[in-house]
Structure 1
Amino acid sequence: MSLRVALSFVALMFLSACALLQSQEKAALGPWHLPFEAAEVSQLLKGSYQDQEFVLNAALKMDEDRLLLLGLDQMGRRAFSLTWDATGVHVDRAVWLPDALEARYILSDLMYAYWPLEKLVAQGLVVTQDGTKRTIFEEGQAIAFITKEGTTQRWAGQTVIENIKRGYRIEIQSQQTGETQ
């Protein structure tokens, strides 16, 4: 088997796996529906996974048509881009990003932290909220703890997400940069 044939086979397998991942995500989240007002948000994500520390800058834009989430590392390299639109969720991620930090996991955590409680419950999640603290449950077990510190405004201040299921902790500093009309 020539090197060209082998590389073509590997590329084909990689593209097939990506298509499978995207179709699984579409089935899990379905088409995009704006859960609250349109917004543009800048976020600094600092976290730890196992013994690794990470810092990402994220830009989040959501309007009637789609949600766009872009993550950059400290050197400005694209870690991931995620689009959620009428056809589902589409993800492009850098190979160097740790597996536990997949963009769809970060999207889920952002939903846990920022979506209105009634929208999460409508999706079948079991959620408790006590003031600025939320706990997300799966099969009776707590899988994530979210704490909003300093303010009750959705896109201001610090939010801490401890995702027990995935084994990481993220501190998010958010600032709304604009609204989309």
Structure 2
Amino acid sequence: MRLQKIWLALAVILGGCSATASRDDTSAFLAPHLRLDLPRPMEMGRSVEAVQMLTAHHQGKTYVFEAHLSITPDRVLLVGIDGMGQRIMTVTWRDNSVTMESSPQLPKEFQPGAMLADIAVLYWPESVMRKTLAAAGADLVVDDKSRSVSANGKEVLHAEYQSGSSQPWSGGLHYSNLAWGYDIDVVTVQVQQ
């Protein structure tokens, strides 16, 4: 009986993520024609452990999931969990590679690579992202409560920080990735500084 439980648990774990991709490339698309060379994890300037509740909207559909985000000088780890508690994606971003695992339950509208680009734009220091975006031919505009990215005269991403800070590791934000056609409400709780 115990052996059956172990095999069942192993089958559930192995069946949870069906697609794995690893590449020696740390670029991600913020928009269909806007490829960013992601900054290095250490350029965050500090380590962060956070839990986020995300409510995403795309073409009249709403998706709710939880994200666990761990940032250290060596790597960024993003784990997405659906409302049933199942892991829908795991993304590991290092200086020279990105590994992505996604389950069939991850809506096709939300690509892990695009999420990495969004995370970098939303949370990495302004000076780092200004340089990163300029290299891709895009501009960053920042004020006390928002960040906006434009490319070729069109706004690509716009974020409003509800906590009144452009680096909200505790609080909320609403952002729209206008290029990919989705918007997301994020509530973040930092669990370690």
Q: Same fold by TM-score, threshold 0.5 exceeded?
A: yes
Q: 1:26 to 1:148 in 2, by over 3 A?
A: closer
CA-CA distance at 1:30 after TM superposition: 6.0
What are the Cα deviations for residues 62-89 of structure 1, in whole angstroms up to 9, with x where unaligned? 1111110000001011111000113311
- 1:108 has 2:117 as partner: yes
- 1:170 has 2:184 as partner: yes
Letter in 1 for 2:37: L
Q: Pick from 22, 32, 40: which aligns with 1:32?
A: 40
Q: Pick from 89, 107, 120: which aligns with 1:98?
A: 107
Identical pairs, percent: 24
Letter in 2 for 1:147: E
Letter in 2 for 1:53: T
TM-score by length of 2: 0.76
Residue number in structure 2 paired with 1:58: 67
Corresponding residue pairs, total: 163
Kept in 2, the 8 Å contact 1:30–1:88? The answer is no
Residue number in structure 1 paired with 2:78: 69
Q: Which structure shows the higher helix fraction?
A: 1
Kept in 1, the 8 Å contact 2:25–2:97? The answer is no
Kept in 2, the 8 Å contact 1:61–1:67? The answer is yes
Gaps of 5+ in 2: 1-17, 29-35
Deviates more, 1:22-31 or 1:109-118: 22-31
Gaps of 5+ in 1: 1-13
**Distance (Å, rounded) in 1 between the aligned partners of 2:146 and 2:39:** 28
CA RMSD between the two structures:
2.3
